[in-house]
Structure 1
Amino acid sequence: MTQLGDADAPDRQHDDASLVPAAEFTVREFARTAAGSHRDSLDLAAYEREPLDGATLELVDFLARLERSTMAQLRSVLVTPTHKDARITAFLVTWAYEKYWIADALEAVLSAHPGYAPAESRGPGRLTALRRSLADRFEPIRESVVANLIGEDVVAVHTTTGVVDEWTTRAAFEALRDGSANTEFRAMLERLLGVKERHGAFFAAQTRDRLRRSPKAAKLTRKRLARQHWPLGAIDEDPQLAARFFDALLPDATIAAIDARVEAYPGLAGLGLLRRAKSGQPAITRAAEALGRTAADVRNRIR
């Protein structure tokens, strides 16, 4: 098992820092200064005086579940060659820890509104619950076999997936902050954005270096990203709620800006990931076209 103390081992092993992806990011310092619970900094009583509206609470609830979905992602990532990189493993463990507490802070805000029932408390639909159960059991096995046959190039897939998702959720947090008049809510989101800043920085630097060095990794990453649902975790959500997430928090200008940042990486030009995600998940859209149905019809059938 990787020890956090070994997180910067590759830096010590190579005199040439250019051999270490994202060498400028000190994983040891990141792990040492990880942000835990935010509860002490929250003034939940402020929501009694100035409660958030139902539409905002629904989006907060959605974002909390996306942040919680990290562990499901890690189950698949850490059975691949990615786990052999001590720095990445140490980062991911700390990243998951920080995201757990980000979700906890969002859930604390929901709990300060007793009239709101979080979606998870209502329980998922039967087909959604079955899909989740099957995915939890079999996805790590499938990914382990496939990714280990591919080898180290799959690491670039994971870091690029991470940066796209971080840029997406960060933009959503910023939109919530900028659109709220609640001072406490805005202050909390600002603190959470400070935590998320390092997540995006690490993934972005890793992606930059890995895609520059390996055209094969860039080709693989392009193929895999085109099949991904955005944001991560949205596949388990009500399609109508996912659509409201895009409509309320990710205007076309923001989507275009994120897509442009992604497409600036080697081999990723023209993907239009978020633009396609907003109009319908790519795999669902292709299936709908093949069957002569709408994307919503196909999405509902697989849920």
Structure 2
Amino acid sequence: MAFDLDTFAETSEAVTWHDLDFDTFDEYPLDHQTLRTLRYMCDVEYHTSCFLREMLVTPSHREEDAAGFMTMWNREEFWHGEALAAVLARHGIQVDYNELKAKRTKLGWQLALSTMKQSALANLIGSDFVAVHMTWGGANELSAVAAYRRLADMTEHPALSPLLQRISQQETRHVAFYTTQARDRLQDSPRAQGLVRTILEKYWKPVGSGIMSEPEVQHVMGHLFGGRGEELDKLDKRIQRLPGLDGIAMFRSAFTRLGII
């Protein structure tokens, strides 16, 4: 699916939830497993601003379309976090964005060194790093869409499910941007194709890895995708459509390494 940045910028808006009847959570409260998964999703959405910070030290920030998209993307992801935090608050779970940001800041030199390493690696790779960034971002957003839709189907909740569907709908536009950019950059570059394939197959992990502990990643991903290898194969097939990535099985491989399938 093609992506029009101007249309995206003109129509980008915060996800809405105030029209949903959150009082239904009193009669139909969410179970512990679902709340744990929602907390994970909320934290990941709130951490998007940190990912944006890391992107700004790579060649991607010099790409006009990428920089423009990231501004709107960061805003939408923040509001996803706000919406999920509102659901959690109705269950007595308080999530504070500033508190999460403070925890990230406390990483100090560890965070700084991580960003410096990424900057050095990205600039060493050169312009082909943008192909890696766009394909990696597309994979992340594809998995996010699948996760939100899966949880909506699992709960069939009158307030939560519509909210998750709204979030997933915005995420599909993010998928469109990333995959359009990735396709353009992979099309005529065998070097980029080989680089992207190697990095994704060896290093991609489910969204949230690196923020959350591995046991938490295993728990949440198992909750959503345990025993559903066919869903992961569908995601792999979406990535396989990109130039030079036929046969790639990054999702199945990553989840297998986690012991989920």
Is TM-score (shorter-chain normalized) higher than 0.5?
A: yes
Which 5+ residue runs of structure 1 have no aligned equivalent?
A: 1-21, 282-294, 296-303
Q: Is the 8 A contact 1:169 1:231 kept in 2?
A: no
State how far apart, in whole Å, the 2-side matches of 1:169 and 1:246 are. 11
Aligned pair 1:278/2:258, yes or no? Answer: no
CA–CA distance in structure 1, aligned partners of residues 104 and 257 of structure 2: 22
Equivalent pairs, count: 255
CA deviation profile, 1:143-188 (whole Å, cap 9, x unmatched): 2222223221111101101110011111010111111131111111
| 1:139 is the counterpart of 2:125 | no
1:170 equivalent among 108, 133, 145:
145
For residues 46-75 of structure 1, give each alpha carbon's deviation from its aligned partner in whole angstroms, at most 9, with x where no partner exists: 211211111111111111122222222222
CA shift in 2, pair 1:27/1:44, >3 Å:
same
Residues 117, 30 of structure 1: alpha-carbon distance in 2 compared, 3 angstrom cutoff: closer
Q: Tell me by how many angstroms 1:135 deviates.
A: 4.1
Mapped pair 1:253 → 2:234: no
Query: CA–CA distance in 2 between the matches of 1:129 and 1:83?
Result: 22
TM-score by length of 1: 0.76
Structure 2, unaligned runs of 5 or more:
none
Residues 143 and 185 of structure 1: is their aligned pair in 2 closer, same or farther, counting only changes over 3 Å? same
Does the CA contact (< 8 Å) of 1:35 and 1:195 recur in 2? no
Report the alpha carbon displacement of residue 129 of structure 1 after superposing the two structures with TM. 7.3
Aligned position for 1:8: none
Structure with max Cα Rg: 1
- Describe the shift of the 1:69–1:135 C-alpha distance in structure 2 as closer, same or farther (beyond 3 A): farther
Contact 1:61 1:119 in 2 (8 A): no
Is 2:177 the partner of 1:181? no
Write the distance in 2 (CA, Å) between the matches of 1:120 and 1:70: 11
> How is 1:35-74 mapped onto 2 (pairs within 5 angstroms)?
35-36=13-14, 38-74=16-52
Amino acid at match of 1:47: F
Which amino acid in structure 2 is aligned with residue 220 of structure 1?
Answer: L
Partner of 1:111: 89
Q: Post-superposition shift, 1:117? A: 6.4
Counterpart of 2:187 (choices 209, 212, 228) is: 212
| Residues 1:83 and 2:61 are matched in the alignment | yes
Distance 2:106 2:7 in 1: 38
Q: 1:238 to 1:182 in 2, by over 3 A?
A: same
Q: Do the aligned partners of 1:177 and 1:186 also contact (CA within 8 Å) in 2?
A: yes
Give the CA RMSD over aligned residues. Answer: 2.7
Q: Does the 8 Å CA contact 1:229/1:235 hold for their aligned counterparts? A: no
Structure 2 residue aligned with 1:291: none
Deviates more, 1:34-43 or 1:191-200: 34-43
Alpha-carbon distance between aligned partners in 1 of 2:233 and 2:106, rounded to the nearest angstrom: 32
Q: 1:41 to 1:231 in 2, by over 3 A?
A: farther
The whole-number CA distance in structure 1 between the counterparts of 2:96 and 2:5 is 35
Identity of aligned residues (%): 30
Aligned to 1:244: 219
Normalising by the residue count of structure 2, what TM-score does the alignment of the two structures yield? 0.87
Change (3 A) 1:37 1:193: closer
Q: Does the 8 Å CA contact 2:42/2:81 hold for their aligned counterparts?
A: yes
